[in-house]
Amino acid sequence: MTDLAKLLLRLSFGLSMALTHGLPKLMSFAEKSSSFPDPLGIGSVPSLAFVVFAEFFCSILVAFGAFTRFTAIPVVLVMMTAFFKIHGAQPWADKEPAALFGIAFLCIALLGSGQFSFDYLVFKKR
């Protein structure tokens, strides 16, 4: 049952993040690149590129259970930055999604991918 719970956690949060947050940013990269927030002072384009990398590509990898502990970390970093820097002064309701996604991906990083994953097929079955 624990492995099934890990699968459900990975699929629900991974696909939700990728499809509702990462994919729209990826599809409108050119339009967003000049005005995207730059909370770390590295520039709008690199900030957006890292967010797309984390929210879309890493989230897809997490959903499939591929390199799960490592691919969950960028998502946690992006969500904590969104929570504290982007939405920090806003009401709880505005920053709650960042907190929930951040905590969920942190749990995924701590728990690992489980038996129903790419990681298990490739690394643990040997």
Please check whether residue 61 is in contact with residue 13, taking contact to mean a CB–CB distance below 8 angstroms: no
Please check whether residue 62 is in contact with residue 24, taking contact to mean a CB–CB distance below 8 angstroms: no
Domain boundaries, the chain: 2-124
pLDDT for position 126? 53
- pLDDT tens string 33-44: 999 999 999 999
Residue listed under structure tokens 């690199």 = 46
Distances (CA, A) of 62 to 15, 43, 88, 105: 9, 27, 26, 9
Find, among 89, 112, 105, the residue nearest to 21 by Cα: 105
- pLDDT tens string 48-101: 999 999 999 999 999 999 999 999 999 999 999 999 999 999 999 999 999 999
pLDDT for position 125? 61
Find, among 81, 92, 88, the residue nearest to 40 by Cα: 81
